[in-house]
Amino acid sequence: MNGLAERFGDRARVSESYGDTTVDVAPADWIELLTYVRDDLGYAFFDWLTGVDEPPESFEVVAHVYNPVAGRRLLLRTRVPHDDPHLPSAVAVYRGANWHERETYEMFGVIFDGHPHLVPLLLPDGFEGHPLRKDFILAARVAKPWPGAKEPGESGHGAPSRRRTLPPGVPADWGPPDA
């Protein structure tokens, strides 16, 4: 990408995949990258921001921006460690990041430093945990049986049944005794 190499040097890694351009930077360069692509490269439209859990080391924070004049998309990424998931808020650069950062905070536990109102957005009051983390136990899958056939023999068509197993990530001693 024009200008990225001059501005960031080896601090930014640019890659192409299926016609889309992705730029990876360290968390310290996150706000500078967002500001640069908006002001200097014309990516004025903020589309979305989310997190990706990459256990056990980190969360990846991904933002998608668009240049309406050139008709080009750009994917921006950074990684924050699991044990200290802090990243500067992008709300001062793209106001549309507000809701997305609140959702990412609530679902993954990534803390956006400097966010104007980083409070839960979607889950009911008193909800504990971050449900999009891969280590989050989905209690509903253990508490009540899945309504459809998931193992051979559970459909009632005479095939022999295998032993019942718990969903991935659920400890063996968790849930009702017949699980």
**E strands, the chain, where?**
12-17, 20-25, 45-54, 58-67, 72-81, 86-88, 111-113
Average pLDDT score, the chain: 87
Cβ 33 vs Cβ 23: under 8 Å: yes
pLDDT score recorded for residue 2:
72
pLDDT score recorded for residue 22:
97
Whole-number Å distance between alpha carbons of 2 and 40: 10
- Architecture of the CATH domain 1-113: 2-Layer Sandwich (3.30)
CA torsion 91→95→99→103, rounded to 10°?
A: -30
Each residue's pLDDT tens digit, 118-175: 999 999 999 999 999 998 887 766 666 656 656 555 555 555 555 666 666 677 777 6
Tally of residues, the chain: 179
* Burial (0-12, 13-18, 19+ Cβ within 10 Å), 46: buried
* Burial (0-12, 13-18, 19+ Cβ within 10 Å), 131: middle
What pTM was estimated for this model as a whole? 0.77
pLDDT score recorded for residue 153:
57
Each residue's pLDDT tens digit, 46-102: 999 999 999 999 999 999 999 999 999 999 999 999 999 999 999 999 999 999 999
Domain locations in the chain? 1-113
pLDDT at 179 > cutoff 60: no
**Which 8-state DSSP code applies to residue 123?**
S
Whole-number Å distance between alpha carbons of 102 and 34: 18
